């Protein structure tokens, strides 16, 4: 991958050997050929998630990669960010062969994560306020660990579609949870600790770094049925 055009923007590496990689995927727009800027809100919103993952997982060997797409939009059949993230997945496999990968995607980034979940090496998907479409394929998550989270007051992406999709994924997945975050909207700023805590805990437990918390276990025991927190 040419460094000057690479979608990968930043890597936080553990002090020791890399035993898992988390790709953090920001949101965007349905149509836009504007280059992505580091100052765009959807990019900035993922910084606390990346930080939480790095702090909690660094000592266990988690590398956190923040991905910035070349273009801001999905752009119809071009699926612009999918190509970018597929390229980064290839790079991760080259640098760290055999280690599990977690995809943590917000809004459009959630759609990217769900689209690429079946790629080799991907073990875990966290879809945060994801852009789920009627064409989303649950079989892409077969054998994967999946966590869906959606704010109850989200007016940008459809929480009902997310909940319905989680139920379709659950019978195929290694584990599946669906959380409705009370009082929060698409920006995930009203109750950030809930989003960060569950995301980090799920990633670390799914790659084998720690046991799932009692809170997370209660979510996963519902096997895709929505739990409101």
| Mean pLDDT within 109-120 | 98
Question: Which pLDDT value is given to residue 3?
Answer: 39
Token reading at 140: 């892409």
Q: How far apart are the first and last CA of the chain?
A: 41
Question: Which pLDDT value is given to residue 9?
Answer: 72
Residue-wise pLDDT for 36-88, tens only, equals: 999 999 999 999 999 999 999 999 999 999 999 999 999 999 999 999 999 99
DSSP 77: G
Residues above pLDDT 70, as percent of the chain? 97
Residue-wise pLDDT for 138-157, tens only, equals: 999 999 999 999 999 999 99
pLDDT tops 90 at residue 2? no
pLDDT tops 60 at residue 1? no
Residue 75: name the closest of 30, 109, 116, 134 by CA: 30
Question: Which pLDDT value is given to residue 148?
Answer: 98
**Secondary structure in 3-state letters for 168-192:** HHCCCCCEEEEEEECCCCCCCCCCH
Residue-wise pLDDT for 187-216, tens only, equals: 999 999 999 999 999 999 999 999 999 999
* CA distances (Å), origin 180, targets 151, 159, 185, 210, 228: 6, 8, 11, 24, 5
């Amino acid at each position: 991958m040419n460094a000057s055009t690479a979608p990968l923007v930043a890597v936080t590496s553990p002090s020791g050997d890399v035993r898992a990689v988390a790709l953090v995927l920001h949101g965007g727009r349905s149509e836009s050929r504007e280059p992505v800027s580091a100052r765009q809100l959807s990019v900035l919103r993922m910084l606390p998630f990346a930080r939480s993952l790095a702090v909690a997982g660094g000592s266990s060997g988690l590398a956190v990669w923040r991905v910035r797409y070349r273009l801001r939009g999905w752009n119809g059949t071009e699926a612009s960010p999918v190509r970018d993230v597929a390229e980064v997945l290839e790079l991760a496999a080259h640098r760290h062969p055999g280690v599990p990968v977690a995809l943590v995607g917000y809004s459009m980034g959630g759609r990217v994560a769900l689209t690429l979940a079946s790629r080799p090496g991907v073990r875990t998907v966290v879809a945060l306020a994801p852009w789920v479409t009627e064409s989303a394929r649950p079989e892409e998550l077969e054998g994967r660990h999946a966590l869906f989270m959606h704010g109850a007051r989200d007016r940008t992406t459809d929480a009902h579609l997310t909940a319905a999709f989680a139920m379709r994924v659950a019978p195929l997945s290694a584990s599946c949870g669906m959380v409705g975050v009370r009082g929060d909207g698409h920006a995930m700023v009203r109750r950030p600790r809930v989003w960060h805590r569950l995301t980090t805990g799920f990633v670390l437990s799914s790659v084998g770094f720690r046991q799932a918390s009692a809170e997370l276990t209660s979510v996963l025991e519902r096997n895709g049925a929505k739990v409101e927190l």
